[in-house]
Structure 1
Amino acid sequence: MRKWGPLIAVCLGTFMLLLDVTVVTVALPDMATALDASLTDLQWVIDIYALVLAALLLGAGAAADVLGPRRMYVVGTVLFAAASLGCGLATGPASLIAMRGAQGLGAAAMFATALSLLGAEYEGRDRSFALGVWGAVSGAAAALGPVVGGVLTQGLDWRWIYLVNLPVSVAAIWLTLRVVRPSKPQTGRRIDWAGTAAFALFTGAATFGVVRAGVAGWASATTAATFGVAAVALAAFIAVERRVAQPLIDLSLFAQPPFLAVIAAGVAYNATAFGVLPYTQIWLQTVQGMSPMQGGLAVLPLPATAFVVSAVAGRLLHGTPHRLVIGIGLLLIGGGTLGQAVLTPGSGWTALVAGLTVAGVGVGLVSPGLGGAALASVPLRNAGMAGGAVNAFRQLGYAFGVAGFGTIVAARMASSLREAEVAAPAEAAHTLAGGGAGALRPSVTDEVVHTAFASGLNFAAAVAGVLGLLAGLAVLRWLRPAARPAAQVGSSSPVALEHHVERP
């Protein structure tokens, strides 16, 4: 237990925080009914977790250096557990969204310190083994999310997708305090509070603007003001990072095309592969009449294929240029997502299998390659910073994808409902996209409901697919390894080893 206890403790926390990214999608229809939640509410239930995780990930890494990784990990796990309890006891959409945000804060503290703890506890072959197990557990969390969510929601209640985190958190905290050695804080290290706050404001305002645009319209004063706040916050973040002694990220990295290509790949990867799936899940359950467990199994071809391909590709493609692995992977994700834009009013879940499987192959290629690509795209001294930035922007890609594609789905549905001469089509579209198909059926025929939802999902999947294809072409064109001094090539420093492993 003393030898592998730290690995178990870190893997327990990582499994929980990554499971909670995807586990919620299967429970959305039940949440909408129980809490009387709208489409906008559901978007925020998903997005606020990924947003807070992304916005605070870099700052949490700096805080871990100040407080010590073990202490930061324990504090993060305690907060995550308390917020999970709050989610399970939520009485309305507002309280659930607030607690999901608190979950994201705890998850940022846990995720930012996981690899540091493993790097400090293990060396040589043990370290390689530990990082490999951590990567496999990360992949398993992504693959099992929809299934675990379906089992808990159908067998118990949607609240248990959060309450189940409590015993796992207790075990992770107990193990960490028992077997992980205390780490000394770094002297002279400071937290970039101003940069963290500005980046959080930018991400929150930008996402709120996209979500709000689906209700108020893109040309509304509210939407314009929100995007204006986001622009000011981004300008403030850039100004702070240029002047602070210890920035969250060195802005000069963004002047390097390879690094920009990796960042773009991370954003497009999470947005394209996963941004439409919450609405697919609502379609499966509220329109197709599937149970939560059946809905989770229906989309399993994507994460299951990704998990298998990721495990196999790690060995077979060793030494293959990141440009090819990630670029081809994104092209497959884009093509597979386009392959999901084939729904008709009479389609069932089987229409999605081929597209989900092809996208899953792409995810299996891209997921393990992004960490190594981030490391190779910058000088070795910036490896840790680059790895953290890619993780943060991947979460932003998911948050922006869910918000943007939700707006697209609702807008396309409204157009279809308007053609069917449904009263108040915009309001009806938001009700339908938010899981309220049953509320429309007394006045709207099943054929109209099926046609509208298929139209919305098809258009969103088409847009996502094109985004994936463009990102794949950009990676093939611009991703090249960064030039390094000969002394740094082949370095086996802890930072380099840590960031070769990325979560799927």
Structure 2
Amino acid sequence: MSAPSAPTAPEAQPGARPGKWWPLAAICLGNFMLLIDVTIVVTALPSMARDLDAGFSDLQWVMDLYALALAALVMVAGTAGDLLGRRRVYVLGLAAFALASLISGLAPNVGVLIAARAVQGAAAAAMLATNTPLLAAAYAGRDRAFAFGIWGAVSGAASALGVLLGGVLTDYLDWRWIFYVNLPVCAVALLITLRTVTESRGSASRIDWPGTVTFTLSAAALTYGLIVGGEDGWGDGGAVTAFAVSAVALVLFLLVERRTGEPLLDLRLLRRPSFAALMGAAVVLTGAAFAHYTYTMLWLQSVQGLSPIEAGLAVAPMALTSFVFAGAGGRFLHRLPAWVAVSSGLALIGVGLLTQTAIDAGSDWKVLLPGLIVTGLGVGVAIPVLVAAALAAAPPERAGMASGAVNTFRQLGFALGVAVLGTIFSGRVRDVLTGAGLSPSAANAISGGAPFGSDPGLVQEAYASALERVYLTAGFAALAAAVLVAAVARRPARTPATAPAPSPAPVH
């Protein structure tokens, strides 16, 4: 694809001008940036912890609030785009993302960083919810198929490059540059969007604010309860209160969605066993395949002594394998029933994670390599057809909502995965260290990657034992989800190729 010489005025028809690919460039830039900002942070977590004196739960929130805000707001952002204009919402998302990135880079303490990450996630939701409708409005026919193909490839590249780019920037500049790098990208995307992308709207007539508030509150309270309970004990007052608030908010969400004329999520979709099983698969897929990155990185850098770029290279085979296989095998995969690909991919993810349980106190990074490759194959098999499977399980008139629900449940799975696996990881590290005579405060600090003093062998044992449990839990969850999809989602489906395939990116 050759680049046009200059952006063309938005009034021109995009399918018939030399500069017709500028809208694609603008949308792909935004999509690449919002996806890469999930994995780019992982490599920098130990450096952030040292510079900002952040604890283990702080690192969880740095990861979780971005995914949580994205999960909670992507559906309402889609409705806002229908009402206010998709280009307008996309532009506002780009501007807010740039501002939040600047604040993240300048953050003087971890509290400011966590708050800025939440704003980043909300801005990413506005971008994610509007980028595919903008593409569909800008292109038709063969141009549309080509545009969605490029969009998917760029999204897959974000998955493969995020961890590596985070390592390069952290190693050669500073962890703050993982946020500063967004500023010029946002500026270019904004300029091209304003000059070349035409406005479009949908058919929504109002935003379901009660549904949005109750869903967000339920998800946030559940995540908070998991993180606090894992650190302070499940009987802690804060954890118990958070779980109670989450349950009440979930009940209110269900009541609201049953009574409203234009719900955030039509609950009748979840009465379809195939659709409900696929939403569960979306949660487990991202939670199992990607959430463990946070704790694997702590082991690679804090225990194995790898630099950020070396740690990024150590886990890159998973993302690279998924990207290459999804691209090379896409034509074959779309000949299969979508549920077969989703179930098979989850099974491969489960096997890959269980393979990684070979880790022990004497292991180095190479022990993870076989499991990462198998997991990457599973991701490359499952994710490109996950949306297509959900669309096949939903009525045609709910296709947009079904697609948005997949994005929501995938992001929610990542946020909950970080919290659940973090609870398992930190709890096991503390048990091993306190059992050997260390104080609880020292054990807490070491679980977050703090310097561990004169007994590296003990810390290696603690981290290896904790990661073994993390991989075991995630692996069995993926296998259970594979069985669920195979048992429940087996039904005649519309041809999945009618919907553009999403990328092999972890978040989307």
Q: TM-score range by the shorter chain?
A: over 0.9
1:501: which partner in 2? 502
Within 5 Å, which residues of 2 pair with 1:93-492?
Answer: 93-183=110-200, 185-186=201-202, 189-424=205-440, 427-436=441-450, 438=451, 440-442=452-454, 445-481=455-491
Structure 1 contact 279–433 (Cα < 8 Å) conserved: no
Structure 2 contact 430–447 (Cα < 8 Å) conserved: no
Structure 2 contact 101–116 (Cα < 8 Å) conserved: yes
Give the gaps of 5 or more residues in structure 2. Answer: 5-18
Deviation at 1:188, TM superposition (A): 6.2
Deviation at 1:73, TM superposition (A): 0.4
1:35 aligns with 2:36: no
Identical residues among aligned pairs (%): 49
Instruction: Go from structure 1 to structure 2 and tell me whether the alpha carbon gap of 1:491 and 1:160 turns closer, same or farther (over 3 Å shift).
Output: closer
Once the two structures are superposed, residues 90-118 of structure 1 have per-residue CA deviations (whole angstroms, 9 ceiling, x without a partner) of 00010000000000111000000000000
Once the two structures are superposed, residues 138-190 of structure 1 have per-residue CA deviations (whole angstroms, 9 ceiling, x without a partner) of 1110110110000000010000000000000000000001111122x457610
Instruction: Go from structure 1 to structure 2 and tell me whether the alpha carbon gap of 1:159 and 1:463 turns closer, same or farther (over 3 Å shift).
Output: same
Q: Quote the Cα distance in structure 1 between the aligned partners of 2:407 and 2:51.
A: 33
Deviation at 1:219, TM superposition (A): 2.2
Partner of 2:358, secondary structure, is coil
Q: Quote the Cα distance in structure 2 between the aligned partners of 1:208 and 1:503.
A: 29
Q: Quote the Cα distance in structure 2 between the aligned partners of 1:243 and 1:25.
A: 41
Structure 2 contact 379–504 (Cα < 8 Å) conserved: no
Deviation at 1:339, TM superposition (A): 1.0
Structure 2 contact 323–380 (Cα < 8 Å) conserved: yes
Once the two structures are superposed, residues 58-93 of structure 1 have per-residue CA deviations (whole angstroms, 9 ceiling, x without a partner) of 100000001111011000000000000000000001
Q: Quote the Cα distance in structure 1 between the aligned partners of 2:251 and 2:83.
A: 27
Q: Quote the Cα distance in structure 2 between the aligned partners of 1:102 and 1:73.
A: 15
Structure 1 contact 379–482 (Cα < 8 Å) conserved: no
Once the two structures are superposed, residues 29-69 of structure 1 have per-residue CA deviations (whole angstroms, 9 ceiling, x without a partner) of 00000000000100000000000000001100000001111
Once the two structures are superposed, residues 112-145 of structure 1 have per-residue CA deviations (whole angstroms, 9 ceiling, x without a partner) of 0000000000001110110111111111101101
Deviation at 1:434, TM superposition (A): 1.1
Deviation at 1:482, TM superposition (A): 6.4
Once the two structures are superposed, residues 439-478 of structure 1 have per-residue CA deviations (whole angstroms, 9 ceiling, x without a partner) of x314xx1110100010111111101100000001111111
Structure 1 contact 80–107 (Cα < 8 Å) conserved: yes
1:79 aligns with 2:96: yes
Deviation at 1:432, TM superposition (A): 1.8
Instruction: Go from structure 1 to structure 2 and tell me whether the alpha carbon gap of 1:352 and 1:503 turns closer, same or farther (over 3 Å shift).
Output: closer
Q: TM-score, normalising length from structure 2?
A: 0.94
Instruction: Go from structure 1 to structure 2 and tell me whether the alpha carbon gap of 1:263 and 1:379 turns closer, same or farther (over 3 Å shift).
Output: same
Deviation at 1:346, TM superposition (A): 1.1
Q: Quote the Cα distance in structure 2 between the aligned partners of 1:429 and 1:387.
A: 43
Give the aligned CA root-mean-square deviation in angstroms.
1.4
Deviation at 1:236, TM superposition (A): 1.0
Instruction: Go from structure 1 to structure 2 and tell me whether the alpha carbon gap of 1:172 and 1:129 turns closer, same or farther (over 3 Å shift).
Output: same
Q: Quote the Cα distance in structure 2 between the aligned partners of 1:274 and 1:340.
A: 14
Q: TM-score, normalising length from structure 1?
A: 0.95
Once the two structures are superposed, residues 205-259 of structure 1 have per-residue CA deviations (whole angstroms, 9 ceiling, x without a partner) of 0000000011221122221111000011111111111111111111011111100
Q: Quote the Cα distance in structure 2 between the aligned partners of 1:377 and 1:115.
A: 20
Give the gaps of 5 or more residues in structure 1. Answer: 484-488
Correspondence for 2:76 among 56, 59, 66? 59
Instruction: Give the counterpart letter for 1:434 in structure 2.
Output: G
Instruction: Give the counterpart letter for 1:56 in structure 2.
Output: L
Deviation at 1:399, TM superposition (A): 0.4
Partner of 1:157, secondary structure, is coil
Q: Quote the Cα distance in structure 2 between the aligned partners of 1:188 and 1:266.
A: 26
Instruction: Give the counterpart letter for 1:276 in structure 2.
Output: H
1:90 aligns with 2:102: no
Instruction: Give the counterpart letter for 1:450 in structure 2.
Output: Q
Structure 1 contact 258–482 (Cα < 8 Å) conserved: no
Structure 2 contact 342–381 (Cα < 8 Å) conserved: yes
Partner of 1:341, secondary structure, is helix
Structure 1 range deviating more: 448-457 or 220-229: 220-229
1:24: which partner in 2? 41
Q: Report how many residues are paired.
A: 488
Q: Quote the Cα distance in structure 1 between the aligned partners of 2:31 and 2:469.
A: 34
Q: Quote the Cα distance in structure 2 between the aligned partners of 1:468 and 1:491.
A: 23
Q: Quote the Cα distance in structure 1 between the aligned partners of 2:491 and 2:388.
A: 10
Partner of 2:357, secondary structure, is coil
